[in-house]
Amino acid sequence: MNQSLSGNRDQLFVKLIQKATLKQIVYRNTFESFRLLKKVIDGFAGEYEKYYNDHTPPRRVEFEARMRGDFEIEVKFGGDILLFLMHTNVFEFSRDHAVMRTPYIKEEPERSFCGMICIYNFLADSFKYNRINDVGYMIGRIFINKDKHYFIEGKRELGFLYNNFGDYVFDRTKIEEIIAAAISYTINFDLLTPPYRNMQEVTVNEMKNTLDAISLKTGKRLGFRFQADQDYENSL
């Protein structure tokens, strides 16, 4: 075989092994972090149960957590559900992302490869009554790299607290802060009346179905734009 071709092929194989190994490390870190996230959420549920029993509110307000497969955690509290979803692939930030201009990434570009955990907020009734047209909202996404350093893009409490990639390791203490911030944001993210014009018309078929199965979309911000959210989204 031509020595030049052999050398090029060796370089190709080296690059393949390096990139695949990097992604395997990132995936393993993300999966381990996701399992730790589940344990911390279970701890929240246990602490809530103790608090509830000590204070005995007049009406039952549940806080439940459960795994829905290896890559999905459901947290149900009050009328809301938080879904934590781990993506099985590894991503790199786009070149124009602000993270790529930080000294942390420029010093070692491999740090920009991350696993991703997304946090979605849904209404509990959307699942309970199988309202398939209802919408949920991504309130944050967590990126974890080969060093278990993490970065969060998200709304208010989440996005403003955890945006320094090189300073934070995804450990139990930080996870507790993230969960508390996600729950706090969700509690303050209220369901508002849909615009009147969106509800003026309804089909006979929809009206014949039960109220809970009616196919009018329900969501916390349908038809509304809020300045606080918009200002943050424009800053991303």
SS (H, E, C) 27-78: HHHHHHHHHHHHHHHHHHHHHHHHHHHHHCCCCCCCEEEEECCCCEEEEEEC
**Per-residue DSSP letter, 215:** -
pLDDT above 90 for 10: no
Domain-wise residue ranges, the chain: 3-235
Hey, is 180 helix, strand or coil?
Answer: helix
Q: How far apart are CA 69 and CA 28, in angstroms?
A: 17
Beta-bridge partner residues of 63:
77
What is the pTM for the complete model shown? 0.80
Q: What is the mean pLDDT of the chain?
A: 82
Q: What is the pLDDT of residue 233?
A: 46
The encoded tokens of residue 20 equal 């695949």
CB proximity list for 89: less than 8 A, separation 6 or greater: 116
> Which phi and psi angles does 115 have, rounded to 5°?
-85, 165
pLDDT band, residue 235 (cuts 50/70/90): very low
Q: What is the pLDDT of residue 223?
A: 40
Neighbours of 83 (CB within 10 A): 18
